[in-house]
Structure 1
Amino acid sequence: MKHLPKHLRPRWRYLAVAFETWPEAGFGRDDFQRHVWYAAQNLHGDAGSADVDLTVMDFERVGPAGWAIVRTRRDEVERARAALACVDAVDGDPLGLCVAGTSGTVRACEEKYIRRPTEVTGQRTVAFEATERPAVVRDGRAEVRVDSAFVGATTLDFE
């Protein structure tokens, strides 16, 4: 089978997506991809989500923070950003997500927008609500375990 001529090939844009979740969230690339598809389908409908054609090309999660590169068609970047903004949880784990930028190639997207997590995370026991509780502390913020869930806090809340 012959390749399509260059002027007939689909044109792509790559969105750099940074996200944060709770430290013990248990989702991966496939779960994230499924929820991105569901968000696009719920927002744009079947035909619209097929036009946007969101695909997670690269995904990495280190503890509570991570990033992904999501591919979309060139003319559908705004609709893709809108669909990504609708993803607020993956498999019940809350997710904060931000589109860092858009690029024409995967390599340029990684070089410009993807910052590997450099912040140091650590496990500590903190005094929160007059009780000693385990927490994951990073960069002036903490996720304190309260019963079976986490509570976001700053160092001023427990020191």
Structure 2
Amino acid sequence: MKHLPKHLQPRWRYLAVGIETWPDAEFDRGAFQRHLWYAAQNLLGEAASAAMDLRVLRFELASGAGQAVVQVRRGEVERARAALACLDAVDGAPVGVRVRGASGTVRACEEKYIRDGPEAVAERTVAFEDDQRTAVVRSPRYDVATPDGFAGATTLDI
């Protein structure tokens, strides 16, 4: 089978996405991809979400902080941003996503927006609600382990 001429080949844009969730949440690239497709489908419908052709190319998540590179067709970047904004949970774990930027190549996307890797994460014992508790620290945020799960806090709360 012959390749399409260059002027007929699809053009792509790449979105650098920052991911934040609770430290005990564990999901992989496939689960993130599936929930992103569902979010796009629910927002735009099947035809429009298929036209965007969203794909997660790179994915990394550790201790509640991560990043991804999402491929989307050129001209559909705003719709892809809207679909990402609708993503609120992956496999039952609440998740926050932020589009750091868009680029024309994967390499430029990684160099501009994902060069440092995920945030530095440390674990400390903190005083919270009149008790000593374990917290995962991503400065200036603290995810404090409570009997009911995690609670988000800042330096002033500790």
Q: What corresponds to 2:55 in structure 1?
A: 55
Look up the SS of the partner of 1:7 in the other structure. Answer: helix
CA separation in 2, counterparts of 1:78 and 1:145? 37
Q: What corresponds to 1:41 in structure 2?
A: 41
The range that moved more, 13-22 or 139-148, is 139-148
CA separation in 1, counterparts of 2:120 and 2:3? 47
The amino acid across from 2:36 in the alignment is: V
CA separation in 1, counterparts of 2:39 and 2:46? 11
CA separation in 2, counterparts of 1:117 and 1:130? 35
Q: What corresponds to 1:101 in structure 2?
A: 101
CA contact (8 A) 1:62 1:117 kept: no
Shift of 1:61: 1.4
Q: What corresponds to 2:21 in structure 1?
A: 21
The range that moved more, 122-131 or 5-14, is 122-131
Look up the SS of the partner of 2:99 in the other structure. Answer: strand
Q: What corresponds to 1:72 in structure 2?
A: 72
Shift of 1:118: 6.3
Q: What corresponds to 1:87 in structure 2?
A: 87
Shift of 1:137: 1.7
The range that moved more, 39-48 or 115-124, is 115-124
Look up the SS of the partner of 1:75 in the other structure. Answer: coil
- Unaligned 5+ segments in structure 2 are none
RMSD in angstroms over aligned alpha carbons?
Answer: 1.2
The amino acid across from 1:73 in the alignment is: R
Q: What corresponds to 1:130 in structure 2?
A: 130
Aligned 1:114-125 pairs, distance under 5 A: 114-117=114-117, 119-125=119-125
CA separation in 2, counterparts of 1:58 and 1:117? 12
**Is the alpha carbon distance of 1:2 and 1:12 closer, same or farther for their aligned partners in structure 2, counting shifts above 3 Å?**
same
CA contact (8 A) 1:65 1:117 kept: no
CA separation in 1, counterparts of 2:105 and 2:118? 24
Shift of 1:119: 4.3
TM-score, normalised to structure 1, is 0.94
The amino acid across from 1:65 in the alignment is: A
CA contact (8 A) 1:16 1:67 kept: yes
CA contact (8 A) 1:14 1:70 kept: yes
Q: What corresponds to 2:156 in structure 1?
A: 156
TM-score, normalised to structure 2, is 0.95
The amino acid across from 1:49 in the alignment is: S
Q: What corresponds to 1:8 in structure 2?
A: 8
* Aligned pairs, number: 158
CA separation in 1, counterparts of 2:153 and 2:115? 24
CA contact (8 A) 2:67 2:118 kept: no
